[in-house]
Amino acid sequence: MIQAGEQAGLAGGTEVLPHLIPPCAAETARHRELFYGRRRGRPLRAGQRERQTTLLPRLSFTLPESGRLAPASLLGLPSREVWLEIGFGGGEHLAEQAERHREIGFIGCEVYENGVAKLLGEVDRRNLANVRIYGDDARLLLAALAPRSISRVFILFPDPWPKARHHKRRLVATPSLDRLAEIMVDGAELRLATDDPGYLAWMLEHTTNHPAFRWTARRAADWRERPADWPATRYEEKARKAGRAPSFLRFIRRPR
């Protein structure tokens, strides 16, 4: 497992500010207690278990105990950009993007063990050297990443938590948008997707009202049709088979 302390916490001369230091141990534990979702599904197959043992330790990383994490330092590559996918599911979108853009570093955040196992299979099959995996709560990672260190963010088909009493669990919300605005470079792109009409309205309300983000859509096709450089996912396929129309939203991080 990559240790992201000395080599990543202050890499690139990142300034450490008191209000930007990652959560303390007690705060980290509280975040984990508030995590909602499954961490494991059906038992892994033999090949998946082997990759969990041999490949995952080379791709996973821990957060620094102090300071901020400069993500490019994790890749060991001269990556000019780092893209982040939060909740990569089965990993097909992340793997396809990483194969198309081998010059870019990718961080995938996913707590679901079976999803991580699927991504490891894709990394192995496609011989990807530009992928790293964080297998814990995305809020902890967002709190640790250095300012202006991420060039693109994907949050595709997150759990809509449709019941009103569960809306506080939604990932796309003001606190997470605040953190994304801090870690994204000027001009960075935020891509969101959902097949839930209620969550679509929520996403649009929260993101268009956020001062850091500008919606790029100019016509209905801009959000009804998936762009050519946006690989499909199994969640999109599942939604279409069920008769639900997915929406694809693109936002730009405004200049500071």
CA–CA separation, 237 and 45 (whole Å): 24
Residue 195 is among the residues annotated as catalytic for this protein? no
The alpha carbon dihedral of 21, 22, 25, 31 has a sign of positive
Task: List Cα–Cα distances, 92 to 85, 128, 227, 243, in angstroms.
Answer: 11, 13, 16, 22
CB atoms within 10 A of CB 208: 13
**Long-range pairs for 181-184 at CB < 8 Å and ≥24 separation?**
181/210, 181/212, 181/213, 181/253, 182/147, 182/148, 183/142, 183/145, 183/146, 183/147, 183/148, 183/149, 183/150, 184/148, 184/150, 184/151, 184/153, 184/212, 184/253
For residue 79, the one-letter residue type is S
Q: Distance between CA 47 and CA 76 in Å, rounded?
A: 26
Nearest to 156 by CA among 216, 41, 235: 235
Q: Pick the catalytic residue from 124, 136, 137, 159.
A: 159
Active site members: 159
